[in-house]
Homo-oligomer: A and B are copies of this chain.
Amino acid sequence: MTDNSHDFPAEEDYGLNVSLVEAVLEVVKQGSQQQLLGLLEPLHEADIADILEQISPSERESLLALWGKEIDGEVLSELEEGLRDEVMRDLPDDVLAEAVRDLDTDDVVYLVEDLDEPQQEKLLERLDDADRVAVEQALTYGEDSAGRLMQREVVVAPAHWTVGDIIDYMREADHLPESFYDVIVVDPMMRPVGEVRLATIMGAAREVPIAELMEKDFRTIPVDQDIEDVAYAFNQYHMVSAPVVDHAGRLVGVITIDDAMEVLEDEVEEDMNRLAGVGDEDLTDKVWRITKARFPWLAVNLATSILASIVISQFTDVIEAIVALAVLLPIVASMGGNAATQTLTVAVRAIATRDLTPSNALRIVLRETLVGLMNGVVFAVIIGIVGVVWFGDPMLGVVLGLAMVANLLVAGMAGILVPITLDKLGADPALASGAFVTTVTDIVGFFSFLGLAALMLL
């Protein structure tokens, strides 16, 4: 026992390893369904979905064909959206219906919500009546609403019950929800009046009234609330589950932390993508779809960079006189763009987490402006020296330094003011900011650099 390193699972024990994927592909090539099932059986559905995502389209087709009627509905709900819809379109109706039949209704909702109507109907027809009604009901709620996210199966107790009543009820129940952590105490109108953790119930004697144990200070979620707000509440208040209520305050479902966690991750990822000009795309999307998805942002960027070029074109006589200016232009643009992106990213994130509010907005704007000014001064000195050393012209160094101060100062201000303004106007600060902000810094940078050059160097 001199080597302990194998006592611990390696990092690859989570997620996939290459040799497993290769083994699956080998079995698919041989066409042995039995061996395929043997390989997939010990895997988590999320890992099987990852295999499907990471192999080529033709390999995927062969795998799905070989898997056939044994395909697991939960794997479908783990696939990324674009691929899921594609796979579900291609599966034979009876195979799909079979795969979906055993899923919880909230998983079914998730699977069918993006299907086109004829296929959606065909699938719903094959569900049990109770499940079909539940799914159809859920689909009446808005796409990003709590009603879509919630599970409809809830364990409730009237306020006059004791711990013993709840335990007896649960022991006799045919079917309890797959995951739940609280019993929701309701009044006769089905309005939640309290929540009790399972652990609290289990730690109390049978005769204790539930009303004595329940937490009365809890948050309910309106059924049409945006899931972004739901995720915020779970994260901010460390909630584990929360009752969802309709307009009359009646309990209609429950949202649990695992649902909220997915939404939260999606929201941060969306901000990250939008800041980079990446829209709604998946890793399995085809070239043509990706090209189209990225086109609009590049087109906006082309338009704004032409604006910046127009600024330069006003100063062609200065550039013709001093060609060093053309050499140095990209430095001015690049520094301004990067400083603005730093501030912008911090601002977009702070708005999303509701840490940037009217209470501190003025202070943060001031701070970012000062940071821009200070880094502007520092880099003015550095770039001024570079300019003098490189081109041997002290005045060129001065012009470059002054332009750097102006540019980084404006970068800081634009980086914070543009997202705040967009948010106030009801637009997503992450979506539109990059285009606005880099246009501002490019234009200010080129104008101040070339304008100062015209004034001081000619």
Query: Contact between A360 and B55 (Cβ–Cβ < 8 Å)?
Result: yes
| A326 is an interface residue with CB less than 8 A from chain B | yes
Tell me the complex Cα distance, A308–B330, Å.
8
Partner of A386, one of B181, B247, B261, B306: B306
**Smallest CB separation, A346 vs chain B (Å):** 6
Which residues does chain B contribute within 8 Å of A323, judged by CB atoms?
316, 319-320, 326
Picked from B233, B334, B360, the residue with its CB within 8 Å of the CB of A438 is B334
- How distant is A167 from chain B, measured CB to nearest CB, in Å? 6
Closest chain-B Cβ to A409's Cβ sits at a distance in Å of 13
Q: How far is the CA of A295 from the CA of B4 in the complex (A)?
A: 43
Stretch at the interface among A86-94, A109-117, A121-129, A266-274: A266-274
Interface: A344 (CB within 8 A): yes
B349 close to A298 (CB less than 8 A): no
A202 contacts which of B56, B170, B235, B306 (Cβ < 8 Å)?
A: B170
CB distance A330 to B446 under 8 Å? yes
- Does A456 sit within 8 A of B, measured CB to CB? no
* A232 / chain B contacts, CB cutoff of 8 Å: 14-15
Indicate the member of A167, A171, A326 with the most B CB atoms within 10 Å: A326
Say whether, besides A54-B359, A382-B302, A236 and B14 are in contact (CB < 8 Å).
yes
Within 8 A of B (CB), among A337-357: 337-339, 341-342, 344-346, 349-350, 354-357
| CB–CB B333/A309 < 8 A | no
| Given known contacts A247-B8, A249-B7, A258-B238, A342 and B198 CB-to-CB distance under 8 angstroms | no
- Which of B8, B265, B298, B363 is A268 in contact with, Cβ under 8 Å? B265
Give the Cβ gap from A381 to chain B, nearest Cβ, in Å.
12
* A contact face: mostly helix, strand, loop, or mixed: helix
B326–A312 CB distance below 8 A: yes
Give which listed residue, B265, B287, B333, B438, contacts A265 with CB less than 8 A: B265
A→B interface (CB under 8 Å)? 4, 7-9, 11, 14-16, 18, 21-22, 44, 46-47, 50, 53-56, 166-167, 170-171, 173, 176-177, 179-181, 197-199, 201-205, 222, 224-225, 229, 232-238, 240, 247-249, 257-258, 260-262, 264-265, 268-269, 271-273, 275-278, 281, 283, 286-288, 290-291, 294-295, 297-299, 301-302, 304-306, 308-309, 312-313, 316, 319-320, 323-331, 333-335, 337-339, 341-342, 344-346, 349-350, 354-360, 363-364, 367, 370-371, 374-375, 378-379, 382-383, 386, 438, 442, 446
Name 26 A/B residue pairs within 8 A (Cβ), A-sorted: A7-B248, A14-B233, A14-B354, A15-B354, A44-B237, A50-B355, A56-B363, A171-B205, A176-B199, A181-B181, A235-B261, A261-B264, A268-B269, A272-B345, A276-B342, A276-B344, A281-B346, A283-B346, A283-B360, A288-B374, A298-B342, A298-B379, A302-B331, A302-B335, A326-B326, A334-B438
- The 10 A-B residue pairs with the shortest CB-CB distance, nearest first, are A326-B326, A276-B345, A305-B334, A198-B198, A54-B360, A268-B268, A272-B272, A54-B359, A15-B354, A21-B359
